[in-house]
Amino acid sequence: MTVSKTAEKSSEKPADTAKGRKDAAEAQPEALQLGELSEQLGYILKRAQLKVFENFLRCMASLQLTPAQFSVLLLVEKNPGRNQTEIASTLGILRPNFVAMLDNLESRDLCARIRSTNDRRSHILVLTDKGKAVLARAKKLVATKHEARLNDLLGQANREALIAMLSKVANEF
C-alpha cells in the first residue's frame, strides 16, 4: 500500500509548472485517479496510521517521546516488577531490539534496569521519578492534543466505534 511518511511537504505551490499545457485554459495538474485504491483496507489503514503517528510526534515534540517509547513507559508503569522480556514481548518488540530502546530511555533517566534478586539473569524495569513525571505530562499532551483531535473529527460516539472496530481487527483478523 506504500504511502511514505514524507508528511507535510505536499508542495502547496500552484504546481502550475506542469507539462502538457499550451493555452491558459487547461491549467490543472491533472490529478491521478486513485480508483479502487481508495477503498483498499490496507492502503487506507496505513495512510491513517502514518498521519496519526505524525500527529503524535508533533504533540510530543516537547517531550521527545516516540509512540514506541510512550508505549513502553505506559506498560512499565502499569506493570511494575516485570523484566525486559515480559515488557518487550507484550509490545511485540523482539528482545534484541528492545536493548537499544531501553538504553535510550535509561540514558535519559526515564526508566531503570534493576537486577532481580530472585533471578539474577533478569532486569526488573521501573520508572524513575523523572520518568513518572514525564509520563504524566505525556499523558496530558496525548489526551488534550492528540486523542481529543479524534473527537473533533469524528465525534465521541464515532471515535469509540472506530477504536472498537480497530481493536477487533487487530485481535481477530
Q: What angle do CA 126, 90, 147 make, to 5 degrees?
A: 85
Toward DNA, which CB reaches closer, 104 or 159? 104
Spatial separation of the C-alpha atoms in residues 111 and 128, rounded to whole Å: 5
Question: What is the footprint of DNA within residues 106-125 (CB under 7 A)?
Answer: 113, 119-123
70-109 footprint of DNA as x/- string (CB under 7 A): -------------xxx------xxxxxxxx--x-------
Toward DNA, which CB reaches closer, 125 or 142? 125
Toward DNA, which CB reaches closer, 156 or 171? 171
Least CB distance to a second copy at residue 82 (A): 6
Torsions phi, psi of 56, nearest 5?
-60, -45
Residue 149 site contact among DNA, a second copy, none (CB < 5 to 8 Å, cut-off depends on kind): a second copy
Toward DNA, which CB reaches closer, 69 or 135? 69
Residue 70 site contact among a second copy, DNA, none (CB < 5 to 8 Å, cut-off depends on kind): a second copy
The identity of residue 141, as a single letter, is L
Spatial separation of the C-alpha atoms in residues 132 and 135, rounded to whole Å: 5
Spatial separation of the C-alpha atoms in residues 93 and 156, rounded to whole Å: 32
Torsions phi, psi of 31, nearest 5?
-60, 145
Least CB distance to DNA at residue 110 (A): 15
Check residue 57 for interaction with DNA (CB under 7 A): no
Strands (E), the chain: 111-115, 123-127
Least CB distance to a second copy at residue 159 (A): 9
Whole-angstrom CA distances from 138 to 8, 81, 145 are 24, 22, 10
Least CB distance to DNA at residue 120 (A): 3
Toward DNA, which CB reaches closer, 101 or 159? 101
Which of 12, 14, 19, 152 is the binder for DNA (CB under 7 A)? 19
Nearest to 139 by CA among 60, 52, 57: 60
Asked if residue 131 lies in contact with residue 143, where contact means CB atoms within 8 angstroms, the answer is no
